[in-house]
Structure 1
Amino acid sequence: MSLTAKPLISTKTKIVATIGPASETVERLTQLVEAGVALFRLNMAHGRRDWHEAVIGRIRRVSEDLDRPLAILADLGGPKIRLGPIAGGSVNCEIGHRFRIVVYPAAARGPNDLTSSHRALVQQLEVGDVVLLVDGLVSMRVEEKQEGAVVCRVVQPGEIRSGAGINVPGVQLPGGALTEKDYGDVRWAAGHSVDFFGLSFVRRPEDVRELRDELRRLDSGARIVAKIERAEAVEALDEIIHEADAIMVARGDLGVEIDIARIAGVQKQIIRRCRQARVPVITATHMLESMRSSRLPTRAEATDVANAILDGSDALMLSAETAIGHYPVEAVAMMGSIARETEPMIEPLVGPEPGVRSPKAASSIIDGIVEATSRLAEEIRATLVLVATRDGNTALLLSKQRSRTPVLGISHHEATVRRMSLYWGVTPLHFSEAHDSGELLRRVTDWARERDLLRPGDRVVLVASTHWTATGHNMIVVDEVK
């Protein structure tokens, strides 16, 4: 029986689901995992900490009940600029109407005054600058600067609500990617042993290093997912990839910060650079947006998901679809269905990936073993590749080969097992430490046979990575199931 036919492996492309009111219960979380979710995202910009704590507890309960490793991504809010409260909750912006943006809520005197607590916003804006609201659905142009305020005229009409996001393309506002609230969230989430942190509004590699230093201070092994959603981040892409553990193509704010006509090309550029550097990449935002209120996606959305997979995404993320949508489980199932239809079209990588390799990548010995393993598994038509790993690095490198052979990532470190939930084509498994490769191979083979994943005559390739065996050697072992 094909491994991919079993519930153990849903898709090679991993699915990330954002948790919200539509998906917070144990029952719904269970349904999402059974539909194909491998990682859960907590949006730290919304919700109280007691709510997040309860959700983390439920995720871990579901993980234990289903005997599946589930990773948790704490997505930090970052320095997102937002509107303050609006009288009545919203206002309709008609073309040609003038509004004042003021710094302090107390300074708002009239019905056309909009507030923002971000002091630098008004200071940095100049006449002629464009201010985008609600992810670019509403736009205004600055016509006049006043003391503590700017006067803008609406050029793209629409409704804006309290707390709506503000983007100012081309204007660099001071400050790093971590706010005071973010630091508090990092301390809290690290204390709850989350697996990944999403770093929002990264502009430069120093932003990633700042979070890395904080995680080291907290003795946290959590990995950093740098979100590319600013024009400056696109310019510093290679340097950011070098510093981060993973990258997210955050198309929402990115599509406001740069010309939306460039989004597809920039997405492909980011994914290609990540593949060359062998860093996992998540493509996110509006993947199946219409499924917030519809049981089926549009044809364009289905094509978008498929193309993101063909581009080389390791994972795809659902946001509002699973957080507040009417059909969260159906959205995950649909994404999985598209992935299963698309993945057979992906060509395995033979030999090294052309382009620049990350200095963080493994040694040439492991490089050679990974490439040889992928080629060998294809040539002997292996049923399974087993990767025994302490830190998950060899499993990650093998995932970037895009082998057609299913890969089991095996570790006795639970954090490593959860972390491998992000790696394309790798199914993570927790096993207690083995004394040697022979014992490990026997135990895993017995485990797989009990689940009808292996049958007599099937061939298995075992990669024993550094630090797993007592000798610490890297090796490839080929075995035929008796």
Structure 2
Amino acid sequence: MARPTLQEACTKIVATVGPACDSVPQLEALIAAGVDVFRINTAHGSREAHAATLRNIREASDNTGFLVGVLLDLSGPKIRLGKLLQDPLQCDPDMEVTFIAGDVPENETELTSSYKRLLQELTAGDTVMLADGIVSLEVISNDGKRAVCKVTAPGELRSRQGINLPGVKLSVSAMRPEDVDNAIWGAQSGIDFISLSFVRSASDVRSLKDLLTSYESQALVIAKIEKREALDDLEAIVDAADGVMVARGDLGVEIDVAETPVAQKRIIAMCTEKLKPVIVATQMLESMHHSPRPTRAEASDVANAILDGADCCMLSGETAIGDYPEITVKTMRRIMSHTEQSMPYAIQRAQFILNRVHPITSAVTQSATMLAETIEAKVIVIATRSGGTAWVKSKQRSLVPTLGVSDNVEALRRMNLFWGVKPLRVKQLDDANELFNEITAWGCRSGMLQGGDLVVLVTGNRVMEHAHNLIAVHTVDPDKCNIRSTTKPC
């Protein structure tokens, strides 16, 4: 059965596209397995490769009939090592290595960097983390031309690996020229979500939003939290962004790894309060790069992110370069489905903050959720043009399946980021009877609705423009599989 289905997990899956899964048949298999959003990582590959990936994703979406979303991940000011003279380089305890200006090291212990101002911004006593924190250095001295460092945590280095500078205030902009160029391409290509790396303040987010607005893009901006400065300005960043990613890879290097779990919970709690979707990313099922089964700790990690309130979980190398992309997605979906059965939905709704959205929309969606649970409705249907009402509904957690129905393709793709909302394309939204008939025909044809099933619909009665102020309860006709309705405006 083509997606969406009423039985699939409510928590959404973001999967990174790479050599292991970038063909159309492979992408189709991942969509069938449960992927809601595909991520294109601009840190790797050329513009031509990214454009080819986007074409393949859209073709796979057309072939499966599921309007999968696309997230374009801007690499941001990621600082990387240059080419090593000895590759790999084993760094032993107390060994000295030296950062130099330029791009060509003269011996195996000299290191270069993609960030040309590095030597101007390092001072004695600073910590330098390399290779995702595997190797740690302490700056001993810096004369502006050579920064001598001592290895404090040993390990192996390779060319082009990442450099993190926890606690160092960098002057580099959040968006490099190549990020601006990629964002413009994303806006012109109809990308659904654009994430900004190494956000340090709300102004970084607003800059990207202003750029996208100038190109009339409706893409949602996702702020990646991976710097200490972002945690310090978290509330303002969440307010400015359309969504947030807990980017634990660099975050776990920029701050003490012991702080990362609590930081994750804090970020998720802030997004829940502000009604913003939140993605938890990095090493969720890391061992599945080369194993068909995750570790028990990884399964618990996914489950705990969901229990904390995450809307989405993201797979990175597991699908991009791993040996088992499809199995990994199916495994994550199973963990999600089992975890969601035990979530305290009533408590979450009791804490729902009504004053952050239109009070009528909020009250109607909350009432519809409670009504659907009381009468044991088969499904809640949210009719929406922009996806905004589905966004509100997604933060009112419930195990009653929710269909976000629209005739707007872009809105449907954006709904893939919203917890529990399953996007379904319909022909039109203006005629309620025709809409009910279309939903019923879809449900009966797929076997998801049967005679006697109750359906709760949230829509507008056109008395108030742009208002979702009507709840309708309908019963599926046992004989004709049509809908008999009793409609009561709120």
TM bracket, shorter-chain basis: over 0.9
Secondary structure in 2 matching 1:313: coil
Counterpart position of 2:298: 301
Amino acid at match of 2:80: R
Secondary structure in 2 matching 1:316: strand
Paired residues of 1:103 and 1:118 also in contact (CA < 8 A)? no
1:11 and 2:6 matched: no
1:126 and 2:123 matched: yes
Counterpart position of 1:238: 235
1:267 and 2:264 matched: yes
- Cα gap change, 1:130/1:466 in structure 2, threshold over 3 Å: closer, same or farther? farther
Paired residues of 1:205 and 1:240 also in contact (CA < 8 A)? yes
Q: Residue by residue, what CA displacement relative to the aligned partner does 1:254-300 show, whole Å, maximum 9, x if unpaired?
A: 00011111111111111111111111000000000000011111111
1:407 and 2:437 matched: no
Displacement over 4 Å in runs of 4+: 3-9, 350-353, 465-473
Secondary structure in 1 matching 2:410: helix
Give the drift of 1:480.
1.3
**Distance of 2:127 and 2:353 partners within structure 1:** 37
**Distance of 1:87 and 1:471 partners within structure 2:** 63
Counterpart position of 2:333: 336
**Distance of 2:47 and 2:403 partners within structure 1:** 35
- Cα gap change, 1:245/1:465 in structure 2, threshold over 3 Å: closer, same or farther? farther
Match of 2:134 among 137, 160, 183: 137
Q: Residue by residue, what CA displacement relative to the aligned partner does 1:316-351 show, whole Å, maximum 9, x if unpaired?
A: 000000011111111111101111111101122468
Give the drift of 1:432.
2.1
**Distance of 1:36 and 1:65 partners within structure 2:** 15
Paired residues of 1:104 and 1:117 also in contact (CA < 8 A)? no
Counterpart position of 1:453: 448
Match of 1:189 among 173, 186, 205: 186
Secondary structure in 2 matching 1:182: helix
Give the drift of 1:404.
1.2
**Distance of 1:215 and 1:474 partners within structure 2:** 32
Counterpart position of 2:375: 380
Paired residues of 1:389 and 1:466 also in contact (CA < 8 A)? no
Counterpart position of 1:326: 323
Counterpart position of 2:366: 371
Counterpart position of 2:418: 423
Counterpart position of 1:100: 98
Paired residues of 2:4 and 2:423 also in contact (CA < 8 A)? no
Q: State TM-score, norm by structure 2.
A: 0.93
Paired residues of 2:387 and 2:404 also in contact (CA < 8 A)? yes
- Cα gap change, 1:63/1:121 in structure 2, threshold over 3 Å: closer, same or farther? same
**Distance of 1:420 and 1:356 partners within structure 2:** 21
Amino acid at match of 1:384: V
Paired residues of 2:285 and 2:294 also in contact (CA < 8 A)? yes
Q: How does 1:21-420 map to 2 (within 5 A)?
A: 21-106=19-104, 108-349=105-346, 354=351, 361-420=356-415
**Distance of 2:170 and 2:265 partners within structure 1:** 27
Aligned residue pair count: 477
Secondary structure in 1 matching 2:419: coil
Paired residues of 1:436 and 1:470 also in contact (CA < 8 A)? no
Unaligned 5+ segments in structure 2 are 478-490
Amino acid at match of 2:402: V
**Distance of 1:435 and 1:387 partners within structure 2:** 13
Secondary structure in 1 matching 2:341: helix
**Distance of 1:470 and 1:233 partners within structure 2:** 38
Q: Residue by residue, what CA displacement relative to the aligned partner does 1:188-245 show, whole Å, maximum 9, x if unpaired?
A: 1222111000110001000000000000111111110110011111111111110111
Q: Percent identity?
A: 43
Secondary structure in 2 matching 1:105: coil
Amino acid at match of 1:32: L
**Distance of 1:468 and 1:321 partners within structure 2:** 50
**Distance of 1:159 and 1:342 partners within structure 2:** 38
Give the drift of 1:481.
1.3
**Distance of 2:298 and 2:229 partners within structure 1:** 28
- Cα gap change, 1:466/1:426 in structure 2, threshold over 3 Å: closer, same or farther? farther
Secondary structure in 1 matching 2:390: helix
**Distance of 2:439 and 2:464 partners within structure 1:** 15
Secondary structure in 2 matching 1:415: helix
- Cα gap change, 1:465/1:154 in structure 2, threshold over 3 Å: closer, same or farther? farther
Match of 2:459 among 435, 456, 464: 464
Q: Residue by residue, what CA displacement relative to the aligned partner does 1:38-58 show, whole Å, maximum 9, x if unpaired?
A: 110000010011111111111
Amino acid at match of 1:279: K
Amino acid at match of 2:219: A
Give the drift of 1:77.
0.5
Amino acid at match of 1:187: I
**Distance of 2:37 and 2:274 partners within structure 1:** 22
Amino acid at match of 2:132: D
**Distance of 2:461 and 2:89 partners within structure 1:** 60
Secondary structure in 1 matching 2:430: coil
